[in-house]
C-alpha cells in the first residue's frame, strides 16, 4: 500500500493524510485522516469543545491532491503548491476520535498548474468541500 510520506514532502506534525485507499495517478485519489485527539491543535481549538479547524480539512484535501499529482510520472521531482481555494464550505463539525474520509478529483492539469475538487466526510456525512487551485514548481 502507498504511504503518503513516500510521495509527499510533508512530515509530522503537518502530514494530514494517514493512508491512501485508492489512487489513479494524475486523476483522483481517496484517503483517510484518523484524528486521535492527541493532535496539538485540539487543545486550543476549542478548550472544552475540541473541533478540527476547517483550514486543516482543506489542507488534508490538498495533500491528498498532491499525492494524485506527484504519483503521475510527468510530475516526478516537482512540488504542487496552493494557488487558491474556491467555494470552500464546511458542513459538519469534526471531533477527536473521528476518521475523515478524503476524496480529490483532479480537473485541468498542465505542466505548470492544475485544479481539483475535494470532499471530506465522516461516516458518509459531508464535512467539507472545496475547489483547489495549485501551481507546480521544481522541488
Residues tagged active-site: 45
* Bond before 93 cis per omega within 30 degrees: no
Going 107 to 108 to 110 to 116, the CA torsion angle's sign is negative
DSSP 37: S
DSSP 7: T
Amino acid at each position: 500500500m502507498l504511504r503518503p510520506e513516500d510521495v509527499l514532502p510533508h512530515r509530522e506534525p503537518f502530514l494530514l493524510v494517514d493512508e491512501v485507499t485508492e489512487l489513479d495517478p494524475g486523476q483522483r485519489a481517496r484517503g483517510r485522516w484518523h484524528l486521535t485527539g492527541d493532535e496539538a491543535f485540539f487543545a486550543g481549538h476549542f478548550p472544552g469543545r475540541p473541533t478540527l479547524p476547517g483550514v486543516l480539512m482543506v489542507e488534508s484535501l490538498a495533500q491528498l491532491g498532491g499525492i494524485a499529482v506527484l504519483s503521475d510520472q510527468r510530475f516526478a521531482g516537482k512540488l504542487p503548491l496552493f494557488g487558491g481555494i474556491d467555494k470552500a464550505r464546511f458542513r459538519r463539525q469534526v471531533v477527536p476520535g473521528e476518521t475523515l474520509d478524503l476524496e480529490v478529483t483532479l480537473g485541468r492539469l498542465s505542466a505548470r498548474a492544475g485544479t481539483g475538487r475535494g470532499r471530506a466526510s465522516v461516516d458518509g456525512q459531508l464535512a467539507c468541500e472545496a475547489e483547489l487551485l495549485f501551481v507546480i514548481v521544481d522541488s
